[in-house]
Amino acid sequence: MSVDFQKLNDLAGEIPFDNIDDAKLVIENFCNDNIAVVVTNKATNITHGTHYHNSYEFIISHINMPSTIIDGKLYNRVNNSLFAINPMQDHGLAIGIKGFSLCGIHIDKSLVQSVAMDIYGSSNILFSNDSFVINHDISMLIRLFLEELRYKQLGHKFMTENLSLLIIGNLLRQIKHNIPSKPHNISRGNKENISKVIDYMNENYTAGVSCTELSKLIKMDKYSFIRNFKAQTSKTPYEYLLDLKIEKAKKMLKINDYTITEISMMCGFSSHSHFTSTFKKKTGVSPTEYRLCP
């Protein structure tokens, strides 16, 4: 168990526990640069009253939580409910609770807003304070995040940075907020950048085009590029490129000017067998069968 008060206080503000002197018995917390996850247990006493902080907070309650206050409004949370608290919202409990199990996820405001911008084209995000049912994907991602910080295996920093983005993205999908998920929310600049990438892929699909190369083309970091690309095409760059190669191969097979081996090389596949297996997986038939179909 660990308690890093400096990082925790930076994100979560004042800790509303009345027995925090025994911190290592009361809570377990895990922090990276942008996220602090606080896990309470049966020894935790949470005091009544309200507080606020400048981070987004997402709470998963493992018991029923009566009399939760957010901006003066009372909510009754049920077991395994998920709810959000926005930066600077006054929140807390009307009645103190002892022996209380929950998971609180505090995320730096700028990181949440950055992910919102990448996905929806707007950083001005405010979440509903209503309760939502915690889904399997979020539970699994949080569990993986905690395991990486608990055991600190080789590469744990890389893993937690990427898990952080996945956790935020799934929270944005799961919890109702003020940004409509419509195509017009994608900025014109992002649309033009992705169109530029797609044109480049069409011209260079035979080469080994990488995400790093494509992101540099539009001067965007790789992970933001992948999120933007998927938001606009519903596919990862790799999936899009693979589908592009298969469509090119289909046209060549029907023209009947090239052997299957030649087509596999012209479409940028590493081998005849790789092309054949990928083609069959995508279309349900082998290249030979496709060529013979009327």
So what's the pLDDT on residue 12?
60
| Per-residue pLDDT tens listing for the chain (294 residues) | 444 555 556 666 666 655 444 544 434 566 788 888 888 766 666 677 888 889 999 999 888 887 889 999 999 988 889 999 999 999 988 887 777 678 889 999 999 999 998 888 888 999 999 999 888 889 899 989 888 888 888 998 899 989 999 999 999 989 999 987 654 444 556 777 888 889 888 888 887 788 888 888 888 888 888 888 888 888 899 899 999 999 999 999 988 788 999 999 988 888 889 999 999 999 999 999 998 887
**Are the beta carbons of 116 and 69 closer than 8 angstroms?**
no
CA gap 254, 278 in Å, rounded:
18
So what's the pLDDT on residue 293?
84
Query: Are residues 265 and 222 part of one domain?
Result: yes
Query: Are residues 242 and 120 part of one domain?
Result: no
Which element (helix H / strand E) includes 39?
A: strand 35-40
Domain count, the chain: 2
Among residues 67, 15, 58, 13, the alpha carbon closest in space to that of 37 is found at: 58
Give the angle 11-16-19 at the CA atoms, nearest 5°.
120
- Residue 122 belongs to some domain of the structure: yes
pTM for the structure as a whole: 0.59
- Residue 13 belongs to some domain of the structure: yes
The token pair that represents 145 in the structure block: 């995040």
Q: DSSP letter at 17?
A: B
Among residues 162, 145, 159, the alpha carbon closest in space to that of 222 is found at: 162
Which residue is it, tokens 């030979």? 288
Q: Helix, strand or coil for residue 218? A: coil
On the CB side of 125, CA atoms within 13 Å amount to 32
So what's the pLDDT on residue 24?
46
Q: At which of 174, 203, 238 does a domain end?
A: 174
Q: 252: domain range?
A: 189-294
So what's the pLDDT on residue 42?
65
- Residue 141 belongs to some domain of the structure: yes
Query: Are residues 225 and 153 part of one domain?
Result: no
